Amino acid sequence: MVEAKVWIRVARETLGEITSIFRGLLGPTVALTGCRAGYLCQDLTDECVVMFTTYWETQEDTDRYLRSELYRAVLYALELSAEAPKVCFHTISETRGMEYVATVRSSDKLS
């Protein structure tokens, strides 16, 4: 799985435009083949910080997304950033949940 994350700080004057762009992208992006989930988040302590995160089944799905017209709109939003945006792609080979927490907490003495 691949996590694709965009983090941008925008000027207050463009915040509405940026969030509108990402809101409009979320549904169509999640509908693409290979997209497992998508999230649009706004920082609670700084409303001018916006994060757009998507999760992809494979690297090929991610690459197809990066070549798509939808991603062209993401790139446009990045151009409106008030400072250099952060774009990260994380390859995730394993995901664990609460069962992992329970296993770790029951296997050793707690610190």
pLDDT band at 106 (very low <50, low <70, confident <90, very high): confident
- Is the torsion defined by CA of 53, 56, 62, 73 positive or negative? negative
pLDDT at 108: 66
Question: Which residues, in sequence order, are CB contacts of 25 under 8 Å at separation 6+?
Answer: 52, 70, 73, 74
Q: Report CA torsion sign: 24, 27, 40, 91.
A: negative
Please say if the pLDDT value at position 58 is more than 70.
yes
Tell me, what CATH number does 103's domain have? 3.30.70.100
What is the domain extent for residue 96? 2-107
Whether residue 109 has pLDDT greater than 90:
no
pLDDT-derived band at 110 (thresholds 50, 70, 90) equals: low
62-84 pLDDT, tens digit per residue, is 999 999 999 999 999 999 999 99
Write phi, then psi, for 92 (nearest 5 degrees).
-110, 120
**Average of per-residue pLDDT values in the chain:** 94
- Full-model pTM: 0.85
